[in-house]
Structure 1
């Protein structure tokens, strides 16, 4: 049976599955019931679940009947956000302050649907598919934990693929682009240390407040004067804290923020320049400054150009040229799928969820009022399963 026909047959079931997941969201590292639900939906398929020793999430293998071939990893994320839903849909979250506002319920549903389709078409494809239902994307810890647990082994995937809902693209369409797709995300913390004193006698103190202001200002010069205008990056100071009283010169000031970059080279360079600027600006005022980047930070998603080309041809075949959205720009949001792509090539593509007649579908991801057009679900299943078959049967 053709992929489109199978998807049409299971479409209503997939919408019911999505609505169940949406009504019962779970936060990062708490996806116990979602994991059970995923496995229950796929109990009648030939998926072989692997034991990786993780409390939540699931990884399974499916083998084609057309012979040996490559290993393709398909990944979806399971977790929701700590938000009180304001969408107004009849299947809204039943959990206070927990909501699927980033579309992970749709990601999970699409991968369940793709597994059902691929199981019914096993005679038509060769090789192996590794299905990864990943926990904790929102805390950017799920992918590294799965890698540590061995998700990229036994067998090692040749390529990894995922999709992400996208309210800027119309439902029924798929957004693609080679190269940078999402940005690296690094959190910085600057501590400027001065010498406290009375506000009436600044000459007897070293005031860290203007030093911190100079540091934040000069960080922006990295973007405007140290980087090429064709190398986009963002440095945002989101928090500044210092001082205890209006007439007391503070002892120290703390500045925290985020850095977004689209290449590892630029990422490393900005970190280096931020440390240099903070140190020298502070020294010029007899103060001290330290810059700390908390944790490893999430790397950028860099799509493999050849794989994107294969996806483009597959989409033309299964959905039609008119349903491809050629994205001109990457996103400065981040996605922990990038950790997999540090070790194997792959790609992330966009699943359009916008409905021109429903302004709620135009809202940004992570907005408590966002609605996702469910027309996206069959589109995503066709795109994911169609690409998988075409990829696995291609000459490698």
Structure 2
């Protein structure tokens, strides 16, 4: 296996012609034209066109808007590189000259950067194909933002229609002073589940509450009691987050409605904790409704979401070592597991190792101006993913391309030639 220093040296050589201005033009164009989940037609077309021009065999329309490019060059491993394409229903407030032109839609999670990195890495590796052997598969994934894009690609046969990977790589832009590349071996992202709750009451006139069973009051008790699940039913050494993000009831201030609806999200890092939390939610909802005398039992619907993302430890150690050689020893560190969730791991067939890391992107001026002295204080005070103020520093365009290129080269054959 080629040494990390050799991979880093080759990566520098073949990316030496990258120009920030060229990457900025592509990135800014994507940022101006964000598209929501499964509507990424323009983005997909631009990715597909660039891949075809670079020599890839391209398939469009995978899971509706997904793109897969395949470049075979001799015998060797099959490496998949993945980037997600969708934007969010967020109204941009950055004031950037290349801000979104689509009202109420923004690349607030940085997927425009992901596709820029993916495209540039694919082009670099295609141009330098004489330095490696194997097969490179480039995956432009739709609908990562709770849209089930990875699962949809699997259902559309991505594992059967394209060469089976020997390794899968992905990365995500993140808040934090630009110029760092956090790696976490093993568990790096949490599982996520959504829960819909319907509390059935007995509606009536607001002047006669004694003739009703008020679902708003009952649902409010549910929300309050749910706050004890993590604090009283999850061990101190375990991690879980339970969020009530939606509470809908009624249409008139003087009418007690017949039902209230809640939307919950649960994040966990251990399958046993996951099941315990889900069981507790159901018990609390049913108990509060019984205590209130609701005429009909509540509806509790669990939507199994994304599984945990668990990096292969040996593969992560390998890629982290390459990134240290390439970008500096001090730039790579273990941030530990995060409570965020991703569907990236679903793209890896059973038994296939994968690695997923981060590229920090907060401009130095924004970081320096953020309140706080300690790193974590500043981290919590700079715009993060999903914020209408999220604006990555363009300085990460070339390094983020190099991280993907070097990861691919670390597994493809012939990197020492």
What residue in structure 1 maps to residue 58 of structure 2?
A: 49
> Residues 51 and 58 of structure 2 are in contact (CA less than 8 Å); yes or no, is this contact kept in structure 1?
no
Confirm or deny that 1:86 pairs with 2:90.
no
> Residues 162 and 347 of structure 1 are in contact (CA less than 8 Å); yes or no, is this contact kept in structure 2?
yes
Confirm or deny that 1:8 pairs with 2:28.
no
Q: 1:103 to 1:247 in 2, by over 3 A?
A: closer
2-side partners of 1:199 and 1:20: how far apart? 53
Structure 1: unaligned runs, 5 residues or longer: none
Q: 1:214 to 1:84 in 2, by over 3 A?
A: closer
Q: 2:407 aligns with which of 376, 387, 390?
A: 387
> Residues 62 and 68 of structure 2 are in contact (CA less than 8 Å); yes or no, is this contact kept in structure 1?
no
Confirm or deny that 1:109 pairs with 2:116.
yes
Confirm or deny that 1:348 pairs with 2:361.
no
SS in 2 for 1:98: coil
2-side partners of 1:260 and 1:136: how far apart? 19
Structure 2: unaligned runs, 5 residues or longer: 1-8, 371-381
Q: TM-score, normalised by structure 1?
A: 0.88
**Deviation, structure 1 residue 254:** 2.6
Q: 1:236 to 1:322 in 2, by over 3 A?
A: same
**Deviation, structure 1 residue 350:** 0.5
**Deviation, structure 1 residue 204:** 5.8
Q: 1:241 to 1:115 in 2, by over 3 A?
A: closer
2-side partners of 1:378 and 1:371: how far apart? 16
Question: Which stretch shows the higher mean deviation, 138-147 or 86-95?
Answer: 86-95
2-side partners of 1:28 and 1:375: how far apart? 27
What residue in structure 2 maps to residue 179 of structure 1?
A: 186
2-side partners of 1:21 and 1:194: how far apart? 47
1:59-89: CA deviations, max 9, x gaps?
0112244xx3322211001122233333222
Q: 2:396 aligns with which of 364, 369, 376?
A: 376
Aligned pair count reads: 390
Q: CA RMSD in A?
A: 2.8
What residue in structure 2 maps to residue 314 of structure 1?
A: 322
Task: Map 1:117-136 onto structure 2 (within 5 A).
Answer: 117-136=124-143
What residue in structure 1 maps to residue 305 of structure 2?
A: 297
Q: TM-score, normalised by structure 2?
A: 0.84
Q: 1:11 to 1:214 in 2, by over 3 A?
A: same
Q: 1:178 to 1:36 in 2, by over 3 A?
A: same
